[in-house]
């Protein structure tokens, strides 16, 4: 997967395409679909792997999602179209529904104790340190999933993929993840100082917000806007930290979202 991802570095379409179809071969192998099936096989055990500290499984999943994201960026519409037919949106939903932070508000509420394999440290002595490491893995995995979903919308040529996302994805799950990031971010001074960083949590939440805002422009029924409005404070928090520009690509107007620097925020 690492090698395939490097082939996509720089969004060179010929190298991206060769992962899906090898024109000079008698038989072609869709490696993108193979990566999707690999991640589907990993998904049922991801939650336990994170809690058990099995980094190899978690890192494999993270690299898989980022590799597929790189294969679609540029954009590469053929790869976007091919992957949209695999069931990848359902796979993302299952991860969003299962992988959540230890506690929504952090701090003293994070009482779950996670046992790392082969660890000799008493649970009570390692709880906050371990929870930070576990939550860091959760954060990186979910951020990778969101990066991949956002890649489906880069340079999108028609409404087919956005409409499929609107109909397939469980946006209440995504909103729930965004709210959790908001609550973690505003209470971060209560968290133990460890692997998990406030900046990473905010970046994860911004990814959800940008994804929902991007897809909402294709939503004639305003269903995503209604989901966003269910938690005004979380929406306002990430809206204040998000900027965007509009570019013309293939005679179509496209909105690109980006994170605002802290000194551009009100009171920053």
**What was the pLDDT predicted at 203?**
94
Is the pLDDT score of 119 beyond 70? no
Mean pLDDT of 84-100: 95
**Above pLDDT 70, what percent of the chain?**
86
**Structural domain harbouring 206:** 2-264
More confident residue, 258 or 102: 258
Q: What is the pLDDT of residue 111?
A: 38
Residues with Cβ < 8 Å from 27, sequence gap 6 or more? Answer: none
Predicted local confidence at residue 194, as pLDDT = 55
| HSE of 125, CA atoms in CB hemisphere, 13 A | 4
> How many percent of the chain have pLDDT more than 90?
59
pLDDT tens, 161-206?
999 999 999 999 999 999 999 988 887 654 444 567 888 999 999 9
123's CB contacts (< 8 A; 6+ apart) are 113, 115
**pLDDT value at position 196?**
75
Q: Across the chain, what does the average pLDDT equal?
A: 85
For 68-86, write each residue's pLDDT tens digit.
Answer: 999 999 899 999 999 999 9
Structural domain count of the chain:
1
- Residue bearing the bigger pLDDT, 9 or 205: 205
Among residues 129, 242, 243, which one has the least CA distance to residue 195? 129
Cα–Cα distance for residue pair 141/66, rounded to 1 Å: 10
The per-residue pLDDT for 103 is 54
Highest mean pLDDT among 92-96, 117-121, 191-195: 92-96
Partnered with residue 242 across adjacent β-strands are 259
| 3-state class (DSSP) for residue 117 | coil
Query: Quick one: pLDDT at residue 8?
Result: 87
Mean pLDDT value of segment 226-232: 94
Q: Is the pLDDT of residue 246 over 60?
A: yes
């Amino acid at each position: 997967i690492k090698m395939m991802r490097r082939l996509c570095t720089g969004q060179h379409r010929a190298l991206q395409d060769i992962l899906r179809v090898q024109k000079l071969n008698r038989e072609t192998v869709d490696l993108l679909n193979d990566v999707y099936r690999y991640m589907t096989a990993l998904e049922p055990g991801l939650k336990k792997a994170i809690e058990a500290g099995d980094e190899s499984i978690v890192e494999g999943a993270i690299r898989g999602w980022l590799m597929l994201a790189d294969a679609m960026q540029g954009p590469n519409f053929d790869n976007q179209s091919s992957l949209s037919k695999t069931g990848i949106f359902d796979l993302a939903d299952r991860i969003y529904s299962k992988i959540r932070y230890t506690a929504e508000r952090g701090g003293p509420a994070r009482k779950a104790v996670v046992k790392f394999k082969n660890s000799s440290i008493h649970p009570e002595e390692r709880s906050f340190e371990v929870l930070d490491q576990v939550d860091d893995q959760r954060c990186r995995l979910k951020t990778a999933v969101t990066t991949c979903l956002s890649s489906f919308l880069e340079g999108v040529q028609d409404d087919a993929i956005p409409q499929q996302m609107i109909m397939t994805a469980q946006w209440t799950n995504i909103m729930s993840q965004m709210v959790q990031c908001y609550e973690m971010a505003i209470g971060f001074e209560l968290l133990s100082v460890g692997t998990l960083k406030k900046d990473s949590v905010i970046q994860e939440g911004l990814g959800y917000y940008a994804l929902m805002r991007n897809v909402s422009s294709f939503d004639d029924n305003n269903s995503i806007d209604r989901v966003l409005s269910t938690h005004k404070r979380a929406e306002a928090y990430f809206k204040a930290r998000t900027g965007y520009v509009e570019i013309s690509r293939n005679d179509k107007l496209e909105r690109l979202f980006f994170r605002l620097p802290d000194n551009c925020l009100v009171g920053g």
